[in-house]
Amino acid sequence: MNGLKINQMKIDVLLLNPKFFAIFFLFLLVSCGEKKEEAVTKPNIIYIMSDDHTTQGFGIYGSRLAGLNPTPTLDKIAREGMIFDNAFVSNSICTPSRAAIITGQNSQMNGVLDLDGRIEPARQFLPIEMKKLGYQTAIVGKWHLKEEPAAFDYYKVLEGQGHYFDPTFRVRGNQSWPENEVKISGHSSDVITDISLEWLRTERDTNKPFFLVHQFKAPHDDFENAPRYEDYLKDVFIPEPESLYERGNNGSEATRGENDSLTRIIGSSVSHRNLIRNQAMNIYVDSSIHRNYRDASDIKSSEYVKWVMDDAEKKYTSKVYQDYLKKYLRCVKGVDDNVKRLMDYLEAEGLLDNTIIVYTGDQGFMLGEHDYIDKRWMYDESMRMPFFVRYPEKIKAGSRTDAIINNTDFAPTIIELAGGTTPEYMQGKSFKTILETGTEPANWQKATYYRYWMHLAHKHQNPAHFGIRTKDYKLIFFYGKYYVDTDNPNNEWDTKNWGNDFATTTPAAWEFYDLTKDPKEMNNAYKEPTYSETIADLKKQLIQMREDLNETDVNYPHIQRVIDEHWND
């Protein structure tokens, strides 16, 4: 008891000491201040997405084009964070990919199967969830989901696909969507960046963290670069893919036809191979062949012959390829330079290190591989998305992962990086743990699902297909039918939709690629007995994945019949 009295006397003396009281009061102020700062500080997030910027068009992905150093700014950002080598799109076409990103759901669940799909404000889930977490939200640039992006606090978005030069933007105003428009002079990549910078400077609420979605039109076809890039790569030979001239055993009867006869109409080409649409028809604006596409119905039976590329055709194909790639890479250069403008602003304002930078493209793109152009295919160049994240506080610089992610995983991850939890209605999974630890959890997904719902669309002539991709293997089933049963006279569909041959059925067939031995997908090994057990296991996984994701064909019996008939081929 005496000890307690003595200690109490010491405490009383300290409390009466003015110096002690001052120090103690200062400590309380500092402690409270620190707690308050921790409570309100959240990272800003800028999600940057270009259109059709494929992994071949970077330095960091080590493609044949890496030596050209096409993306110095983007490569720097990527190396200061984490690079994903296995990021994949679930449906390689603009509108469905964007719908998957904003909803965290696959095509059947979000209802956007093709370019006619739309996402109304009530289902613009990503900005809705970000606002719940206290973020100010904005979207600038390409939107392409038809409905007003009203879930964002601010928007200034291109009309539809938008134009490269002097683009028109849809904004909030006195009239109803989409009547409020402003036209701005300049190249779209520059103008979109101007708008984002202006929003950051003048309209951002500095008392809130911000979530800015900055989306370029470039490098979507027809690849119109700003004039200042006209001499970029002018005298440089662009490395060519070997498969541009020799396709090997890539493909199947579904994509090549019996005796290669369908190669003349399936898959738009760099060469003259595709009689309906090839790249010269797109890029030579001042020529008589510009957009002089043919209709499949006009192709004579005598023209369905095996494609042979002689020396004269190789020379022509090389010329088209060189012009194609230079146009594409000049647009990429404009994207890279404008991203630097964003980064410079963030650094100058002291915002850079507290801002999570996400960069991706809405899907991949074929740059002449297998003599294909455009996207849509499940082949890796079309299916793989560039994806990297910079955030020094939580993500180790120079990190890289081969964990499989897809575009439905983006929204859950962004929400969790912002301090939230993944909503139950989202199908995607957050990979926040992978970003922060650099380690792929043991229970992380081992495969990703893909489905291209459109069929012989826009004269690119890609057959409808679905499949599964793991780190080591890929299995694709081409079922070759439009999702509306065009044989049923009672059904209606958009027969006037441009460039579509929906009513034509193409052969059903399987393709299998051993990506450990054949990363460029030059050998369809589906019929090789060595892989029979592997293929059987992949089919089991595919069935389960389709059920889990609500991606079966129970609502499309005309497609299910084809699946049933050919499942065991």
Q: pLDDT per residue over 164-200, tens digit each? A: 999 999 999 999 999 999 999 999 999 999 999 999 9
Is the separation of the CB atoms in 434 and 444 below 8 Å?
Answer: yes
Burial class (CB in 10 A: 0-12, 13-18, 19+), 519: exposed
Beta strands in 51-192 (DSSP E): 82-88, 136-141, 154-158, 168-171, 181-183
Bigger pLDDT: 196 or 10? 196
pLDDT of 256 strictly over 90: yes
pLDDT of 314 strictly over 60: yes
pLDDT of 243 strictly over 60: yes
Mean pLDDT of the chain: 93
Q: For the residues 203-231, what does the mean pLDDT come to?
A: 97
Q: What's residue 17's pLDDT?
A: 52
Q: pLDDT per residue over 331-342, tens digit each? A: 999 999 999 999
Q: How far is CA 27 from the centre of its chain?
A: 50
Q: What's residue 27's pLDDT?
A: 43
pTM of the model as a whole: 0.92
Is the separation of the CB atoms in 364 and 387 below 8 Å?
Answer: no
pLDDT of 378 strictly over 70: yes
Q: pLDDT per residue over 114-148, tens digit each? A: 999 999 999 999 999 999 999 999 999 999 999 99
**Cβ contacts of 180-189, under 8 Å, gap ≥ 24:** 182/156, 187/224, 187/225, 187/226, 187/334, 188/141, 188/158, 188/162, 188/163, 188/164, 188/216, 188/217, 188/218, 189/216, 189/217, 189/218, 189/226, 189/331, 189/334, 189/335, 189/338
pLDDT of 23 strictly over 70: no
Q: What's residue 494's pLDDT?
A: 82
Q: pLDDT band at residue 452, thresholds of 50, 70 and 90? A: very high
Q: What's residue 265's pLDDT?
A: 96
Alpha helices in 349-392, H assignment, sequence order? 380-383
